[in-house]
């Protein structure tokens, strides 16, 4: 099973040199190791009343939608999964490819993608990737706008060592403080002396 025709045509039109990287065959057998999240480019389609746009970032990052909307002056949100499937199927794909040229939507790309030495792009077929080097990546995004809209997922994960004991201690202290406050409030209410006649 090869790459989808629409993906091949897109790569030929841009004149990008690429390699095919297949992790699973048509029977679901593992052929190669899956690329790491930092090596995979993903494409997310967003929309608002103005129209749709596509964002390309690495899989170890997420879109800071608030920052992106403020930067662009738009009210963007992710498209529905059904809409995503319809777009993919209209292009002859199983799922949305991370190649930006398959749709006519404006494209923004994160610096992590443009600064990468090598990335794997989903071809639109599960387990089938398009491997591009730095030069190929630059060529692919020649018409895209470089914009800083992605944040590293790792920044928002609590360190493993902190997760257990510190969480328990902070919960215990919060409950204790709350209990003390409630007792004080009850005492004040109970001991309230009515005014003299």
How many domains would you assign to the chain? Answer: 2
Is residue 124 domain-resident?
A: yes
The CA–CA distances, whole Å, from 14 to 9, 60, 135, 163 equal 9, 26, 12, 47
pLDDT digits (tens, 9 = 90+) for 55-76: 999 999 999 999 999 999 999 9
Residues 97 and 23 in one domain: yes
Flag whether pLDDT at 193 surpasses 70: no
- 187 pLDDT more than 90: no
126 and 90 within one domain: yes
* Bridge partners of residue 129, in order along the sequence: 21, 122
How many Cβ atoms are within 10 Å of 128's Cβ, its own excluded?
21
Q: Are residues 111 and 126 in the same domain?
A: yes
Which carries the bigger pLDDT value, residue 62 or residue 7? 62
Residue 39 and residue 21 in contact, taking contact as beta carbons nearer than 8 Å: no
Residues 117 and 58 in one domain: yes
Its pTM stands at: 0.75
Alpha-carbon gap, residue 194 to 196, rounded angstroms: 7
Q: What SS3 class is residue 80?
A: coil
Q: Give the domain CATH number at 52.
A: 3.90.960.10
Q: Do residue 127 and residue 35 come from a single domain?
A: yes
Same domain, 49 and 119: yes
Residues 47 and 73 in one domain: yes
Residue 52: the pLDDT is 96
| Confidence band, pLDDT 50/70/90 cuts, at residue 107 | very high
Q: Tokens representing 48?
A: 């608002």
Q: Residues 16-37: what's their mean pLDDT?
A: 87
User: Would you say residue 122 lies in a domain?
Assistant: yes
β-pairing, 77-78 vs 107-109, is unpaired
Question: b or e along 80-118 (b: 16 or more beta carbons within 10 Å of the residue's beta carbon)?
Answer: eeeeeeebbeebebbebbbbbbbbebebbbbebbbebee
Q: Are residues 164 and 102 in the same domain?
A: no
95 and 18 together in one domain: yes
Tell whether 149 and 164 lie within a shared domain. no
Question: Are residues 165 and 106 both part of a single domain?
Answer: no
Q: Domain residues for 103?
A: 5-156
- Is residue 196 assigned to a domain? no
């Amino acid at each position: 099973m090869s790459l989808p025709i629409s993906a091949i045509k897109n790569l030929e039109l841009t004149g990008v040199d690429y390699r095919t990287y297949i992790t699973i065959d048509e029977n679901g057998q593992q052929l190669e190791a899956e690329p790491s999240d930092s090596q995979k480019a993903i494409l997310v389609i967003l929309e608002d009343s103005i129209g749709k746009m596509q964002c390309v970032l690495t899989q170890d990052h997420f879109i800071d939608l608030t920052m992106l909307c403020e930067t662009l002056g738009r009210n963007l949100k992710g498209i529905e999964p059904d809409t995503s499937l319809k777009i993919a199927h209209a292009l002859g794909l199983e799922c949305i490819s991370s190649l930006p040229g398959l749709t006519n939507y404006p494209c923004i790309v994160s610096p992590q993608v443009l600064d990468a030495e090598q990335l794997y792009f989903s071809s639109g077929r599960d387990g089938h990737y398009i491997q591009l080097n730095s030069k190929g990546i630059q060529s692919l995004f020649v018409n895209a706008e470089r914009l800083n809209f992605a944040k590293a997922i790792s920044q928002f994960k609590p360190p493993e060592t902190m997760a257990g004991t510190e969480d328990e201690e902070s919960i215990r202290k919060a409950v204790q403080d709350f209990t003390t406050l409630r007792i004080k409030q009850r005492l004040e209410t109970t001991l309230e002396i009515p005014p003299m006649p």
